[in-house]
Chain A
């Protein structure tokens, strides 16, 4: 974009003002007869083949180059000028003719076709459509759907990315001495050795740590109470907006659990 010459930009602007590709082509023939360089003419040809919107996109940075001031830019930009009605123009520009096969049968030029066009809006799939995996073995649809899937659907090699890459935590690798060490550390300094920290040290999940500690009778009610008080203190500092946002968040999750 930055490499486009100033002359080119000015012509583009001119073409854009004409708005119609046909008239732009006429313009090209006129300008080429006025001995403009052939390279510029070829560029102009390319440019005129663009739609009017693209031409405007092309023009913008060049206009910046031309004028250091924003007022000048406004003067060059036809669409944003106050005296022109931009809404109607953009609306009429976006009024694209539909694909002929989508025209209804009662239109002036119906397209003869032997199939039904099924083009539903994108929406969540219905829960009443049981996935193939959930069909019981004796269901007749199972064999039919499996056969149809093998025939028509390509094998799915690439699956979408998972939400969170699964953290690889080794299982069954801690010995009794390790567990005794976990308990000892927790008993010595319960505030320092939190479950997360212990899990990181012993390369296991914090769930496993909590199971170890609850089974060995480590009392964590005091810490739980402290954490709860801390949370309450934080919540007490919330303003009305944050509180409302949190309540709405809670409501959304309740709705999600019902699938509404």
Chain B
């Protein structure tokens, strides 16, 4: 792990400048006389001192650019930029804030998706949640915010830069994923179950984990960036409260456009639609030719509609009847899965507003089609 002289001197750092002014601090594992005789130079810390945050133009600019509430101090803002790989001390890195912020973010993303598209299949729901608040998206968000990375972490670095230790070249990826022991154990468990069952799911977004032994790209930069964004959400929540955190997530995460219709891929759409119609007690779906041109020519076009009874469920155009039928079935299935009660659907956290209207239960679907 990252060896630093911080363990010797960490007790003389404080999270806020007001705390640093107090003279009667307690040394727990260090000799006070030794500290007094040897005042620590600033460069001996693994991350910038909290009071340096007040003099960083970058940090102040970032705070202003994001329109963060005034209640969120710059010192906390500076702490969100320190990754555990830069400073292992949990009192000075963003581990706790990112844990909190990640939970808040995934709550809002999940309730938004579940209320807006109540019929989404599990895999699509995970993919959509990953697209909204996955590591890669959060990295893009942080880079759009204008956050740069420090070349190497240290106390002399500007606190407005993201500080983390990059994986040294030549390290085997499997030992150093920057994961906690608990997470690593869980990964090992999932990997073993993967070997047994053939597929498995990651805890957050249902990603299928790569098979053990298969090389994956190291993602420490993405992890550091995503932890930073989560930590900002956590910081807003801690200092400015629930509503501010919800507003922040809505404005920065949920406001992004995601074309959810592109996430689907079916294996047997015609059969799946037939099963759906049977389950919902609709008439058996029949493919009908709406129009066609150039049959028996080099480039024909068939427009096929899928009808259940007299009602058209989906429509597709293709150069062959079979493909057009598949397209029409896919369109019908997407139309089923992408049912939405409306654009401005209420989510449970809206009830936290003062004088909120009484809650009306949202639509809860019985589940995806199993065939």
Binding site for B on A (CB under 8 A): 124-125, 127-136, 138-139, 156, 159-163, 252-253, 256-260
Asked if A259 contacts B335 (CB within 8 A), the reply is no
Instruction: Tell me which residues across on chain A come within 8 A of B363, comparing CB atoms.
Output: 136, 138-139
Instruction: Tell me which residues across on chain B come within 8 A of A125, comparing CB atoms.
Output: 315, 331
20 residue pairs of the A-B complex, CB under 8 angstroms, read: A127-B261, A127-B314, A129-B335, A131-B314, A134-B313, A135-B339, A159-B288, A159-B307, A159-B310, A161-B289, A162-B287, A162-B288, A256-B323, A256-B327, A257-B265, A257-B266, A257-B330, A258-B330, A259-B261, A259-B327
Partner of B326, one of A124, A127, A159, A257: A257
* Chain A residue with the shortest CB-CB distance to B308: A133
Shortest CB distance A254–B (Å): 9
> Is B318 part of the contact surface with A, judged by Cβ < 8 Å?
yes
Asked if A259 contacts B331 (CB within 8 A), the reply is yes
When chains A and B are docked, how far (Å) is the Cα of A220 from the Cα of B340? 48
* Chain A residue with the shortest CB-CB distance to B364: A136
The B317-371 residues at the A interface (CB cut-off 8 A) are: 317-319, 321, 323, 325-327, 330-332, 334-336, 338-341, 363
> Is B286 part of the contact surface with A, judged by Cβ < 8 Å?
yes
When chains A and B are docked, how far (Å) is the Cα of A258 from the Cα of B310? 26
**Inter-chain contact count A-B, CB under 8 Å?**
95
When chains A and B are docked, how far (Å) is the Cα of A135 from the Cα of B336? 8
* Chain B residue with the shortest CB-CB distance to A156: B310
- Count the B residues whose beta carbon is within 8 Å of the partner chain — how many? 44
Asked if B330 contacts A139 (CB within 8 A), the reply is no
Partner of B330, one of A131, A133, A136, A256: A256
Asked if B312 contacts A131 (CB within 8 A), the reply is yes
Q: A135-B339, A257-B326 known; 16 other A-B pairs, CB under 8 Å? A: A127-B261, A127-B334, A130-B335, A131-B314, A131-B335, A133-B313, A156-B310, A160-B289, A160-B307, A161-B288, A161-B289, A162-B288, A163-B321, A257-B266, A258-B266, A259-B330
Asked if B310 contacts A124 (CB within 8 A), the reply is no
Instruction: Tell me which residues across on chain B come within 8 A of A132, comparing CB atoms.
Output: 311
Binding site for A on B (CB under 8 A): 261-262, 264-267, 269, 282, 286-290, 304-305, 307-319, 321, 323, 325-327, 330-332, 334-336, 338-341, 363
Q: Which 5 A-B pairs have the closest CB atoms?
A: A127-B334, A259-B330, A160-B288, A163-B287, A256-B326
Instruction: Tell me which residues across on chain A come within 8 A of B326, comparing CB atoms.
Output: 253, 256-257
Asked if A128 contacts B340 (CB within 8 A), the reply is yes
When chains A and B are docked, how far (Å) is the Cα of A82 from the Cα of B105? 73
Instruction: Tell me which residues across on chain A come within 8 A of B305, comparing CB atoms.
Output: 160
Instruction: Tell me which residues across on chain B come within 8 A of A139, comparing CB atoms.
Output: 341, 363
User: Which has the most chain B C-beta neighbours within 10 Å: A124, A125, A130, A133?
Assistant: A133
Partner of A131, one of B262, B304, B313: B313
Asked if A134 contacts B323 (CB within 8 A), the reply is no
When chains A and B are docked, how far (Å) is the Cα of A247 from the Cα of B313? 30
A127 and B290 in contact (CB under 8 A), knowing A163-B321, A257-B267, A257-B326? Answer: no
When chains A and B are docked, how far (Å) is the Cα of A126 from the Cα of B251? 27
Shortest CB distance B274–A (Å): 13
When chains A and B are docked, how far (Å) is the Cα of A156 from the Cα of B323? 26
Instruction: Tell me which residues across on chain B come within 8 A of A130, comparing CB atoms.
Output: 335-336, 338-340
Instruction: Tell me which residues across on chain A come within 8 A of B334, comparing CB atoms.
Output: 127, 259
Instruction: Tell me which residues across on chain B come within 8 A of A257, comparing CB atoms.
Output: 265-267, 269, 326, 330
